[in-house]
Amino acid sequence: MSSKSGGQKKVKAGGPRPVAQNRRARHEYDILDTYEAGIVLVGSEVKSLREGNVALRDSYARVQNGEVWVHGVHVAPYSYANGFGAVDSDRSRKLLLHRRQIDELTVRTGQEQLTLIPLSIYFKDGRAKVDLALARGRRSYDKRHAIAERDAALEARRAAAISRRGLEPE
């Protein structure tokens, strides 16, 4: 008998760990739909990404000529690459999606005034992926309302936890 596992991969609970997140996007936008897209990287960008040297702040995506491009993603140069494989750290990068997804994004962003926002970058099976969101911008009163809802839900969870333990609320 062999003690090998038969080639099965262990999957961590909760999915892949993000290398970078755009946390502000969830505050600034209402997320309507999300897509997982591959990202085209060159040279030592992958190594730099694995080190976590990436910033998603103020980044966005656009459909141009039937292709999806992400703009404003800053991937810092890899620290151990001495001149070899050096690329512009703020260049536009192509995203890889299925044709029907690109067509759907083209239609929805054109008709409904929606924006494409990268939410996170992570590695899945050794390949860099971008969690791309189709989002609608919030106004300031919408942001205040979202914060109030979040605070109310937090208070309700706290009260429920206290009542489950049988303690008196303060």
Query: What is the pLDDT at residue 66?
Result: 93
Query: Kind and range of the H or E element at 140?
Result: helix 140-165
The CATH architecture annotation of domain 18-138 reads Beta Barrel (2.40)
Q: Is 137 within 8 Å of 115 (Cβ atoms)?
A: yes
Collapsing DSSP to helix, strand or coil, 132 comes out as strand
Quote the pLDDT of residue 3: 43
C-alpha to C-alpha distance for 74 and 49, rounded to whole angstroms: 10
Nearest to 45, CA basis, from 18, 21, 78, 72? 78
Give the per-residue pLDDT at 167.
64
Q: How far is CA 64 from CA 74, 108, 121, 162, in A?
A: 20, 14, 21, 53
Q: What was the pLDDT predicted at 5?
A: 42
Residue 10, judged by CB atoms within 10 A of its CB (0-12, 13-18, 19+), counts as exposed
Amino acid letter, residue 124: K
pLDDT at position 149: 87
Query: Which has the closest alpha carbon to 56: 144, 146, 117?
Result: 117
pLDDT of residue 36: 95
pTM for this predicted structure = 0.74
- In order along the chain (170 residues), what is the average pLDDT of each group of 10 residues? 42 70 88 94 88 91 94 88 74 95 94 92 93 88 81 92 74
Listed in sequence order, the residues at least 6 apart from 57 whose beta carbon sits closer than 8 Å to its beta carbon are 22, 24, 72
Task: Evaluate whether 92 touches 81 at the Cβ level (below 8 Å).
Answer: no
In angstroms, rounded to a whole number, what is the distance separating the alpha carbons of residues 94 and 73? Answer: 11
